[in-house]
Structure 1
Amino acid sequence: DIKMPYKQLHVRNLKLSDAGIYTCEYSSHKVRTSLHVFQLTISLDGHFLQNEVPELILMQNSPSHLPDLSITLFDSNSNRVTPELRNKSPQKYIMNLKKLEATDSGTWVCQVHSDSPLINQNISFAVKVLGFQNPDLERKYAAVDSTVILSWRLNFQKIKWKEGFTGQLNWKQQEGANTHELFDFNVTAQGHLHETKKSSNFLFEIPGRKPESTIEVKLPRVHFNHSGQYQCQLEYQGRHTQSKIELVVMKVSANPAGPLSRGANMTLTCQVSGLLPPNAYLRWERVNGTKMDIKNSKQHEVKLEVNIGAAGLWSCHLIEDNDRKISLHYHVEEAAVWINYVIIGASVGGGLLAFALGCLCITTGINWRRRRQRAKRMAQARQHLLENKTCQCQQ
């Protein structure tokens, strides 16, 4: 299009083949302009999943020699990004960007520079990264019988993602164990989320009320064997990305259970369901106790035992980076005084009863032996009478 009255030439839908020398003739005047054309292409039409690496192709065409270009990239947060140059020719530059995060969505800038001829050109391009606002791996601690809600915050509404995608929530107790699908979900192009429960052997709920663009699972009464990895996975056009939450469950117990008698001992045990990171450990301590009432676990220990001989409130803490992540309490009751007296009395009474039974047995044995001897003498007397070995006086 030629715009009057300034004699401007507008070239629409510019292509590489449009590069060249353009001459404007007016009367006896001629003005020549050299047009250098750049074409920037990003893979997958700029739609990526978290942790994917985009490919960027910059092509150039010019009526003169093609200059050696210096390329600098700036992400959506105006941070400088150094691309990996995979292939280079005078006309084409093929680069790999960094591994994308969910926060990288937005407008990026490719800055092209040349000294001869002098070129300073900024080319903007859009990047959309579908993913999680959670870290790739998160650890969460819970006490046995407590209520736990695990959440994954998706960014599809924040970045105005206009394509439908699917996903699922899986659980496995440990690496190498079988994976159980808890539920799957799909998000329409209009941004509507639909969830479908799959597992019936696992006690969990899908909360009805939750923050927007959030995937949640609720464990109303967590068991020790509910620990493990909960993985939320997104799928778009056959590609996948995921975010994991590792649930670590803690419990405390006593052996023997029940009140602590005077002079007796008890073992308190604090245990977690999985390995702890190197900067985490367990600690037993007696509330309002002394330093002697504190015991810490060693690195990588998942069970901590403490032998006690005093009643009181004992607490087990899981400490990570000097921060108490979770605490469980165990109240050790002292047996009442009358119970101790009953125990002592029962012991003494039992001893006396045993002694009395022993005496009774001895007396009974003696009497039984005497009766047996008497019966034996009478039998002998009868025998003598029958044999007429004795005389009887006549009355």
Structure 2
Amino acid sequence: MESCGTALSCMPAAFLLLHLGLISSMAHQNEFQTGITGGEVTLNCTGIPPDSQLSRDTVVSWKYSDTLLWRMEKNNRYWKKPTFITGRADIKMQYKLCLWNLKLSDAGIYTCEYGTHKVHTSLHIFKLTISLDGHFLQNEVPELILIQNSPSPLPDLSIILFDSNNKRITPKIKNKSRQKYIMDLKKLETMDSGTWVCQVHSDSPLINQNISFAVNVLGFQNPDLERKYATVDSTVILSWHLNSQNIKLKEGFTGQLNWKQQESAKSHKLLDFSVTAQGQLHETEKSNTFLFEIPERKPEGTIEVKLPKVHFNHSGQYQCQLEYQGRHTQSKIELVVMKVSANPAGPLSRGANMTLTCQVSGHLPPNAYLRWERVNGTEMDIKNSKLREVKLEVNISAAGLWSCHLTEDSDKKISFHYHVEEASVWINYVIIGASVGGSLLAFALGCLCIISGISWQRRRQRAKRMAQARQYLLENKTCQCQHRLKK
């Protein structure tokens, strides 16, 4: 009975302790919040009733650790204005504390108090910086630094990046401590310009923070090495397109366009260009090596030169180089020029041969070859070069339109059409004899004639008849006759 009575007497005490613990937990709330340097956060005074429900004697205050930030007493509000937060804080409705232009040092415990109620908010701050202020040239690798600060022990973070195309990127961590993470991103391309996201995660405390940052990549949209094909005496425009539609050109970007005929040859500067304070490209010609023009109308952010009449020795590498703060990137266009010649030059006589030569400048890719063919010809009129041969000759005996093609795999890159004319043919006959009568003389004089535009078979028949006439005149020795037959 005594023991039972003792047990019964303990029950009210247990309920009292449980009730006091519940009141204590309700009177003290702990919250967690993250912020990013340069951004803003709003810290809630959770559970505080509206002003109309607060007694006149209620005191509301905000503290940072033990430093008083703000206090409201009998509807009189005032700031203590500590130096570290001056001009960067305000109190909103429901006594929320708003902080902006956050600094790494703002991390800490912020406490809202009203009556016996306290709300403790642990503010965790991240600072993300990118090298070169986020402005890069293509093929550069940015460095990313993430720093965290917290009043609690610093957690171990996992970091994932998403590029401007929302493609997941795993950074290469060069140096790591609990406070600072130093990472290398990937080698940049012009298409990477835009807003990237750094996703930071921790299990304890639970953190899922997305931090956005800008990446500006200035470079060429051209391939690293582009080939342009042209025939002699044609017009060619060489263009380098900057990705200026994705980023704004900044004053300080400069560049130049150089040309050299071979890899080992001396380089010649064709023009300089720079970006003005207004973000416009300004170009200056620098070379008289050969005639070229700078087109007045061209797309924005484009470096362009025009060769109005290409010569064979205009071939070679045209290198456009972009420079910014001591770094540079470049893009090359290789101009390949084709020419055709004939030996002997001039019309092709019947029964004669002619050599046609097709030649291209520079080196060809491994899958490229030359081909000669006669338009509307036969398989016998086709000749291919070996792969990568830059010169192909063909011996012909038929006039007409001949074409030389430069082909990569099955793609015809360029063609040169050459018309071989057929020479005029004269057949001379000299017939010697004596005049015996007017009728025979008239017949002999009638032998002088010109026949053109007939088929070879008709010409052979006419030549046979003329030979018979010649034989007749010689046998009768009646006249002298010269006959010319024009093809």
Partner of 1:181: 269
Match of 2:155 among 67, 76, 81: 67
Offset, 1:5: 3.0
Q: Aligned letter for 2:148?
A: Q
Q: Aligned letter for 2:108?
A: G
Partner of 2:135: 47
Offset, 1:57: 0.6
1:123 aligns with 2:211: yes
Partner of 1:299: 387
Partner of 1:132: 220
Give the distance between the partners of 2:279 and 2:257, measured in 1 at CA.
19
Looking at both structures, which has the greater relative contact order when contacts are Cα pairs under 8 Å and sequence separation is at least 6? 1
Give the distance between the partners of 1:303 and 1:37, measured in 2 at CA.
69
Contact 2:359–2:390, Cα closer than 8 Å, also in 1: yes
Q: Aligned letter for 2:146?
A: L
Contact 2:193–2:246, Cα closer than 8 Å, also in 1: no
Give the distance between the partners of 1:331 and 1:71, measured in 2 at CA.
68
1:275 aligns with 2:363: yes
| Range that drifts further, 154-163 or 79-88 | 154-163
Partner of 2:297: 209
What whole-Å deviation, never above 9, does each CA across 1:246-274 have from its counterpart, x for those lacking one?
A: 10001111122222222222221111101
Partner of 2:252: 164
Offset, 1:73: 1.0
What whole-Å deviation, never above 9, does each CA across 1:230-251 have from its counterpart, x for those lacking one?
A: 1111111222111111100011
Give the distance between the partners of 1:29 and 1:111, measured in 2 at CA.
35
How many pairs are equivalent?
Answer: 341
Q: Aligned letter for 2:296?
A: G
Offset, 1:342: 6.2
Give the distance between the partners of 1:100 and 1:109, measured in 2 at CA.
15
- TM (normalized to structure 2)? 0.67
Partner of 2:327: 239
Give the distance between the partners of 1:290 and 1:116, measured in 2 at CA.
81
Q: Aligned with 2:100: secondary structure?
A: coil
What whole-Å deviation, never above 9, does each CA across 1:114-167 have from its counterpart, x for those lacking one?
A: 222221111000111112222222110000111111011223354223433211
C-alpha distance 75-60 of structure 1, shift in aligned 2 (>3 A): same
Contact 1:174–1:229, Cα closer than 8 Å, also in 2: yes
Offset, 1:110: 0.7
1:108 aligns with 2:161: no
Give the distance between the partners of 2:428 and 2:164, measured in 1 at CA.
78
Partner of 1:151: 239
Report the identity percentage: 82
Q: Aligned with 2:290: secondary structure?
A: coil
Match of 2:402 among 302, 311, 314: 314
1:86 aligns with 2:174: yes
Contact 1:285–1:295, Cα closer than 8 Å, also in 2: yes
Give the distance between the partners of 2:285 and 2:183, measured in 1 at CA.
43
1:336 aligns with 2:427: no
Offset, 1:219: 0.9
- TM (normalized to structure 1)? 0.82
Deviation >6 Å, runs of 4+ = none
Offset, 1:291: 2.0
Partner of 1:257: 345
Give the distance between the partners of 1:163 and 1:20, measured in 2 at CA.
41
1:13 aligns with 2:76: no
Give the distance between the partners of 2:267 and 2:93, measured in 1 at CA.
72
Give the distance between the partners of 1:141 and 1:36, measured in 2 at CA.
60
Give the distance between the partners of 1:223 and 1:235, measured in 2 at CA.
31
Contact 1:47–1:127, Cα closer than 8 Å, also in 2: yes
Unaligned 5+ runs, structure 2: 1-88, 430-487
What whole-Å deviation, never above 9, does each CA across 1:63-94 have from its counterpart, x for those lacking one?
A: 22222222111111212222222111211111
Give the distance between the partners of 2:428 and 2:200, measured in 1 at CA.
93
Offset, 1:101: 1.6
Q: Aligned letter for 2:243?
A: N
Q: Aligned letter for 1:320?
A: E
C-alpha distance 201-161 of structure 1, shift in aligned 2 (>3 A): closer
Offset, 1:216: 1.0
Contact 1:128–1:161, Cα closer than 8 Å, also in 2: no
Match of 1:35 among 101, 120, 123: 123
Give the distance between the partners of 2:99 and 2:178, measured in 1 at CA.
25
Contact 1:186–1:195, Cα closer than 8 Å, also in 2: yes
1:198 aligns with 2:286: yes
Q: Aligned with 1:103: secondary structure?
A: helix
Give the distance between the partners of 2:311 and 2:379, measured in 1 at CA.
32
| Range that drifts further, 129-138 or 270-279 | 129-138
Unaligned 5+ runs, structure 1: 344-395
| Range that drifts further, 243-252 or 156-165 | 156-165
